[in-house]
């Protein structure tokens, strides 16, 4: 059984229409809520991104408000990895051995901590950030880029 860890660049695609949104929505419609994982900080990161796009004029205010309401509902349905000391330590170690920026290290650290919690379960790290996907693969995670490939329930390492 796979668990899908949606990093913020992927999670945002559920609320703002962009490349990869349709494919990710189709995949998420086939996955049970208890198999969808996010970092506890991801909803806030996506909230900030939506407001930033609203302020820049990329998203109309009513559309931003609607997206944020759906964000609140969807985030509540997913399993959230708390930002606990184990996640922070995993992120610190990633910063020591990779060129990731701290928000990306925090996302990947949360996924790695979840992998340790759900032994025997494959964690599929879902992201649209190439550097983060590469780092996740280097850490032994299966990866999926929603802008490139999603076929039903099958995720391929890219």
Q: Give the model's pLDDT for residue 1.
A: 82
* pTM reported for the whole predicted model: 0.91
Q: What are the residues whose beta carbons fall under 8 Å from the beta carbon of 97, sequence distance 6 or more? A: none
Write out the H or E segment, with its range, that includes residue 93.
Answer: helix 85-97
What pLDDT, in 10s, does the model give residues 60-103? 999 999 999 999 999 999 999 999 999 999 999 999 999 999 99
Q: How far apart are CA 25 and CA 30, in angstroms?
A: 9
Q: Which is it for the CA torsion 41, 44, 48, 54, positive or negative?
A: positive
What pLDDT, in 10s, does the model give residues 57-71? 999 999 999 999 999
The answer on pLDDT for 152 being more than 70 is: no
Quote helix, strand, coil % in the chain, to nearest 5: 55, 15, 30
The answer on pLDDT for 156 being more than 90 is: no
Q: How far apart are CA 94 and CA 118, in angstroms?
A: 20
Domains annotated for the chain, with CATH where assigned, are 2-144 (3.40.50.1010)
């Amino acid at each position: 059984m796979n668990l899908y860890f949606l990093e913020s660049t992927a999670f945002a695609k559920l609320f703002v229409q962009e490349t990869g949104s349709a494919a990710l929505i189709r995949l998420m419609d086939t996955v049970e809520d208890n198999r969808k994982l996010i970092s506890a900080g991801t909803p806030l990161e996506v909230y900030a991104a939506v407001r930033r796009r609203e302020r820049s004029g990329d998203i109309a205010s009513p559309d931003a408000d609607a997206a944020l309401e759906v964000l609140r509902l969807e985030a509540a349905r997913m399993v959230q990895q708390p930002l606990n000391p184990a996640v922070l330590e995993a992120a610190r170690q990633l910063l020591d051995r990779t060129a990731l920026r701290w928000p990306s290290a925090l996302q990947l650290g949360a996924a790695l901590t979840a992998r340790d919690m759900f032994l025997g379960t494959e964690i599929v790290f879902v992201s649209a950030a190439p550097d983060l996907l590469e780092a996740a693969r280097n850490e032994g995670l299966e990866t999926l880029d929603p802008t490139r490939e999603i076929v039903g329930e099958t995720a391929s390492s890219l």
